[in-house]
């Protein structure tokens, strides 16, 4: 179940990445739902995903 939530979170974040406000809101919600080790994995994934999307970089402050 937990793994499914992690994959769902990544899917949602990809779909809302066109809007930085939505992206940050969804990221906040996901940080409340995920397990601590999944948050670490999400942080790694986010660094790669936002590498070429500078408009989303400020949302990374929520994870660290």
Q: Is the dihedral of CA 35, 37, 42, 47 positive or negative?
A: positive
The span from the CA of 47 to the CA of 14, in Å, is 13
Question: What is the tens place of the pLDDT at every residue in 7-58?
Answer: 999 999 999 999 999 999 999 999 999 999 999 999 999 999 999 999 998 8
Cβ atoms of residues 64 and 43 within 8 Å: yes
Global confidence as pTM: 0.89
The span from the CA of 17 to the CA of 7, in Å, is 15
How much is the pLDDT for 60?
Answer: 86
């Amino acid at each position: 179940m937990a793994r499914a939530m992690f994959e769902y979170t990544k899917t949602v974040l990809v779909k809302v990445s066109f809007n930085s406000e939505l992206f940050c809101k969804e990221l906040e919600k996901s940080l409340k739902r995920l397990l601590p080790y999944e948050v670490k994995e999400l942080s790694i994934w986010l660094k790669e995903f936002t590498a070429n999307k500078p408009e989303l970089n400020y949302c990374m402050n929520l994870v660290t």
